[in-house]
Structure 1
Amino acid sequence: MQAELDYQQLLHALGDGVIVCDAKGAITFWNAAATRIFGFTENEAIGQSLDLIVPQRQRQRHWDGYYKTMATGQTRYGNDVLRVPAIHKDDKPLSIAFTVALLHAPNGEVSSIVALVRDETERWGEERKLRARLAQLETAQA
């Protein structure tokens, strides 16, 4: 017999950030990993706009895509990982990777978007150093 699964406990225990936003982009769920990644506590994040973590220069593009997804009910980031810049509470830049899932109201309209987020800042920095070193070696051989 399968035990009843405590979904709230599951979402808070995950190592990846889980952020849920309503149709207008207000944060309605924020787990402990999201706090670790972005620095904002659950109380600081709930009810806030995603502008909390989206860099100013990315906001127009972000909201264009967000509202299109809400209107069409379609996103390519359910399966494909999106890598984008983000910002930490202390204004330090982050590189994050995430996928999304759409939640639907009983009438079939998209009611919320769930993002599963991973901090890839360190990995991104290492890759950038490796690319620079490779370019340097290729130039030296030319």
Structure 2
Amino acid sequence: MPQEFDFAQLIAAAGDAIVVSDPAGAILVWNPAAERIFGYSAEEALGQSLDLITPERQRQRHWDGYHKTMRTGQTRYGTQVLRVPALHKDGRPLSIAFTVALLHGADGAVTGIAAIIRDETARWNEERQMRRRLAELEAPVS
């Protein structure tokens, strides 16, 4: 017989952020890793729109994709990693990478989206510095 499994413990212990949102984009689950990455406590984030962590210039594109996924029940980001900018509570930009899982009700309709999110800001900044340095090294000498 399979052992009982505590999914709440898994979500709380995960090193990556786990953020679950409802069909309208309101945050339903916000684990301790999400608190660490984005700076908002669960009390501050729960019930709020995903706009909380989405830069204003990215919001239209985000919501277009979000609503299309809710309507069609399909996303390519279940297996492909999506890398996008995000916002920390203090206003500083973040670079995040994530995959999503669509959650379904008994009738098969999508009831929410779970995102597994990793902060890649340091790696992104390092790559940007390396690209800049490479461009300097490859620049013609005058």
Instruction: Give runs of aligned pairs for residues 118-133 of structure 1, distance below 5 A.
Output: 118-133=118-133
Instruction: Give runs of aligned pairs for residues 1-142 of structure 1, distance below 5 A.
Output: 2-140=2-140
Q: Which runs of 4+ in 1 moved over 6 A?
A: none
Structure 1: gaps (5+ residues): none
Amino acid at match of 1:127: E
Over the aligned positions, Cα root-mean-square deviation in angstroms equals 1.2
Amino acid at match of 1:6: D
The offset of 1:3, in angstroms, is: 2.4
Amino acid at match of 1:119: D
| TM-score, normalised via structure 2 length | 0.97
Structure 2: gaps (5+ residues): none
Amino acid at match of 1:111: T
Rounded Cα–Cα distance in structure 1 between residues aligned with 2:43 and 2:104: 25
| TM-score, normalised via structure 1 length | 0.97
Amino acid at match of 2:68: K
Between Structure 1 and Structure 2, which shows a larger proportion of helix residues?
1
Amino acid at match of 1:33: A
> Match of 1:77, SS?
coil
Amino acid at match of 2:99: T
Aligned residues: 142
